[in-house]
Amino acid sequence: MTVATTRMGLEEFFAYTSNLDTLYELEDGEVIEMPPESDLNQRITSFLFAYFLQQGVSPDRLRTKTEIAVMGERTTVRVPDLMVLSEELAMALEGANRATVTLDMPPPRLVVEVVSPGKKNIDRDYRYKRSQYEARGIAEYWIVDPIAQRITVLTRFEGLYEAVLVERNAAITSALLIELASENRLTAAQILKARY
């Protein structure tokens, strides 16, 4: 649902949404109200948050529903389901009045989006956010799709994302997971069911 009819810049968006409880994204200058998440989408996000904690990612480097400014035709702010921050980004956000990753901050290590039903949502996660996260320099972008029962792991290589589709009991291939030296193999089925 689009809220404003006039296009906004970043500062106008921050002022408009500063005292609101509803989540909004700013897409090419238009304010878009984010619909409530389904129970499954919330469970998937919680599962991944807990998984990364168990793998030794510090709580100060994990974020849910934190805004990130990205490149777009006009000003654009996204609200990913989950982010894993770099140490530099966690320090840059420390003490901030608003949990927003601005364009002058380093990108997160990983962004995860859980796809919601509807063509607009699917297009947003697979097309628009993909190109915006790629341009923003985010090393990994996971598209968790409970509808199609698959996960698309996008890894940035020479400035562009390379995609790997992961389904059923196949393990997630991820530079971040390799770095964590995880002994617990994470599969698509575990994420999509939100349980071990």
Q: What is the CATH number of the domain that holds 105?
A: 3.90.1570.10
Domain count, the chain: 1
Q: Tell whether the model's pLDDT for residue 52 goes beyond 70.
A: yes
How confident is the model over 163-187, as a mean pLDDT?
A: 89
Domain that holds residue 179: 36-69+78-193
Q: Are 68 and 108 in contact (CB under 8 A)?
A: yes
Q: Are 187 and 149 in contact (CB under 8 A)?
A: no
Q: Is residue 96, in this structure, part of any structural domain at all?
A: yes
Strand, helix or coil at 46? helix
What letter represents residue 196's amino acid? Y
Band (pLDDT 50/70/90 cuts) for residue 112 is very high
pLDDT score recorded for residue 10:
80
For residue range 68-97, list pLDDT tens digits in order: 999 867 778 999 999 999 999 999 999 888
Band (pLDDT 50/70/90 cuts) for residue 106 is very high
pLDDT score recorded for residue 88:
96
For residue range 5-39, list pLDDT tens digits in order: 568 888 888 888 887 777 888 888 888 888 788 89
Of the given ranges (66-75, 107-116, 128-137, 159-168), which has the lowest mean pLDDT?
A: 66-75
Q: 32-70 burial, b for 16+ CB within 10 Å, e for fewer?
A: beeeebeeebebbbebbbebbeebebeeebbbeebbbbb
Q: Is residue 107, in this structure, part of any structural domain at all?
A: yes
Q: Are 156 and 134 in contact (CB under 8 A)?
A: yes
pLDDT score recorded for residue 162:
97
Q: Are 56 and 79 in contact (CB under 8 A)?
A: no
Q: Is residue 142, in this structure, part of any structural domain at all?
A: yes
User: Per-residue DSSP letters for the chain?
Assistant: -B--SS---HHHHHHHHTT-SS-EEEETTEEEEPPPPPHHHHHHHHHHHHHHHHTT--GGGEESS-EEEE--SS-EEE--SEEE--HHHHHHHTT-SS-EE-TTSPPPSEEEEEPPSSHHHHHIIIIIHHHHHHHHT-SEEEEEETTTTEEEEEEEETTEEEEEEEETTPBPP-HHHHHTT-SS--BHHHHHHT--
Higher pLDDT, 12 or 154: 154
Distance CA 91, CA 95 (A): 9
Higher pLDDT, 145 or 95: 145
The HSE-up count of residue 58 (CA atoms within 13 Å, CB side) is 8
Mean pLDDT of the chain: 90
Q: Is residue 18, in this structure, part of any structural domain at all?
A: no
Q: Is residue 155, in this structure, part of any structural domain at all?
A: yes
Q: Is residue 57, in this structure, part of any structural domain at all?
A: yes
Q: Tell whether the model's pLDDT for residue 183 goes beyond 80.
A: no
pTM of the model: 0.89
> Residue 9 — φ and ψ, nearest 5°?
-95, 180
Q: Is residue 48, in this structure, part of any structural domain at all?
A: yes
pLDDT score recorded for residue 6:
67
The percent of residues above 70 in pLDDT, for the chain, comes to 95
Q: Is residue 30, in this structure, part of any structural domain at all?
A: no
